[in-house]
Amino acid sequence: MVCLVIKSGGAAALPEWKALFARLMPSLAVRDWNDPAVDPAHVDYALVWKPEPGRLAKMVNLKAILSAAVGVDHITCDPDWPKTVPLIRMGGELPAQQMEDYVLWAVFSILRDAPLWRTGQEEKVWTRQTGAARTSADMKVGVMGLGSLGAPVATRLVRAGFQVSGWARHARTLEGVTCYAGTKGLNRFLQGCDTLVCLLPETPETKGIVTYDVLAQLRKPAGLINVGRGPLVVEADLLRALNDKTLHTAVLDVFEQEPLPASSPLWAHPRVLITPHVAAEASRASRAEYVAQVIRALEQGQDVPLRYDPARGY
Ligand code: NDP
Domains, the chain, in order of start with CATH, read 3-92+282-299 (3.40.50.720), 93-274 (3.40.50.720)
Residue 98 near ligand 1, beta carbon < 6 Å: no
Reported as a single tens digit per residue, the pLDDT across 205-227 is 999 999 999 999 999 999 999 99
* Contacting residues for 151 by C-beta, under 8 A, at least 6 apart: 166, 172, 174
Residue 279 near ligand 1, beta carbon < 6 Å: yes
Mean predicted confidence (pLDDT) in 3-7: 98
Q: Rounded to the nearest 5 degrees, what angle is found at the Cα of 63, between the Cα atoms of 59 and 67? A: 85
Catalytic, out of 31, 229, 248, 271? 229
Residue 230 near ligand 1, beta carbon < 6 Å: no
Write down the pLDDT at residue 173.
98
Reported as a single tens digit per residue, the pLDDT across 54-83 is 999 999 999 999 999 999 999 999 999 999
Distance between Cα 127 and ligand 1 center (Å): 38
Nearest CA to ligand 1 atom 48: 169
* Contacting residues for 130 by C-beta, under 8 A, at least 6 apart: none
Atom of ligand 1 nearest to the CA of 168: 21
Question: Does the model's ipTM exceed the 0.90 cut?
Answer: yes
Reported as a single tens digit per residue, the pLDDT across 87-144 is 999 998 888 999 999 999 999 999 999 999 999 999 999 988 776 678 999 999 999 9
Nearest CA to ligand 1 atom 23: 147
